[in-house]
A and B are shown apart, each in its own frame.
Chain A
Amino acid sequence: MRSAAVLWLIAVLAVAWAEAAPNSPQRVRAFAALPDWTGLWETAASRAFNRLSGKAAGNEYEAINHYVQLVGPAPYTQAWGKALQAELRNPAAAASASNVKLCTYGFPIIMDVLQIFQAVVTPEETLLVFDDGEVRHIYTDGRGHPVKDDLWPTAMGDSVGHWEGDTLVIDTVARIEGPLGIGPNKLSARAHFTERVRRLDKNNLEDQMTIDDPIAFTHPWKLTLHYTRAADLDRMLPWDCANDRNPVVNGKISVAPP
């Protein structure tokens, strides 16, 4: 009787210890196998822009676009390209496009503009946390995309991933159909994104992105995006539109008093 009570107590203590442990041995091993992407990462456009004092001006300001690959020529089908050119030639659309204001960007352009991001790598998911508050959730727990009824288009799409060694392979679907937000490009609702993200060395991260759009493209669009560590920052500096003094007046961006 006494030995049974001792065994029961040992069992209770073992369960309590296991529950109190911060991580299971299995999860600790899973963490240990993941690459270290600690730090803040920035795009080529951000690196160029932040060499400038204050806001980059005039031609320099527009020159930043040369670093943004996703504004470049996409492999459109003749029909999609023709329709897009017609849209861009429309005077109202052109005026609207030249007066665009953005406070968030969405995927995939968020991976190529000025926003700085932090990568949080866990066994269950990798999060890319951007300085404008946007977050990419890339689930790596073995799940697939949600079934049709549970999946609808969003600005970030739905991302799942898996690890091939130190490379995170990301599969993204269900991005909202439409323009990338910056530049002339536009994708259909069937755009499918595959990314292979890996750390090249301590200060360099690479994203080999393939965009396959069976409606808009003749063949997959392949890009290699490159990020460097923002070594001059020791914390995330947030960006938002709290003091937006650029109202659109009569279709044009203007300057409002403080």
Chain B
Amino acid sequence: MVAQSAAAHHSGAMFDGHKSIALHGTVRLFQWTNPHCWIQLLVPSAAATTEWSIEMGSTSNLYRNGWRSSTLSAGERITVVIHPVRDGTAAGQFVAAAAVDGSSLGRAPARASP
């Protein structure tokens, strides 16, 4: 048994790594912080608008993947792919993001390899 990923601050067990969903919404807040950066994304639906909390890597991790604190601004429309949390709340683990023109934000994700 591996208690926790070495990847950082906490276990990834809270996220469903086998499930990916794409969220289309508007950035309310981009937190360039540690231990994680966060995107607060307002996602409209027919019934209501839901605010999602999207957990990213650390500032160092994002910086090395081409992100900066200015990469996202409030009001910007983006698409974010996440692995949702298992408990059904509006939150998830960041996988990738794209601007409205389809261009990738930050470096495109890659699988870990030796």
The residues of A with any CB-CB pair to B shorter than 8 Å are 44-45, 48-68, 71, 88, 94, 97-103, 112-114, 116, 131, 179, 181-184, 232-233, 237-246, 252-255, 257-258
Contacts and interface: CB of A to CB of B under 8 A. Distances in A.
Nearest to B111: A60
Contact of B10 (A49, A56, A94, A253): A253
Interface of B: 1-18, 20, 29, 31, 33-38, 40, 53, 55-67, 83, 85, 87, 89, 91, 93-97, 104, 106-114
B62 A102 contact: no
A103 to B, nearest CB: 7
A237 B56 CA distance: 16
B65 A255 contact: no
Contacts of B11: 98-101, 253
Contacts of A233: 60, 64
A181 B97 CA distance: 32
A243 B36 contact: yes
B34 A241 contact: yes
Given A58-B15, A62-B5, A53 B107 contact: yes
A53 B6 contact: no
Contacts of B37: 54
A233 B96 CA distance: 23
Contacts of B38: 243, 245, 258
Given A99-B10, A100-B3, 13 more contacts: A50-B64, A52-B57, A53-B108, A56-B112, A57-B95, A71-B2, A97-B4, A103-B35, A112-B6, A131-B60, A238-B34, A245-B53, A258-B38
A98 B4 contact: yes
The interface residues of chain B, by DSSP majority, are classed as loop
A54 B67 contact: yes
A75 B72 CA distance: 49
A55 B55 contact: yes
A255 B60 contact: no
14 contacts: A51-B110, A52-B61, A57-B94, A65-B6, A88-B1, A97-B4, A98-B4, A98-B11, A101-B9, A102-B4, A179-B3, A181-B4, A240-B34, A258-B40
B3 A183 contact: yes
B64 to A, nearest CB: 5
B57 A102 contact: no
Contact of A53 (B16, B89, B106): B106
Contacts of B87: 252, 254
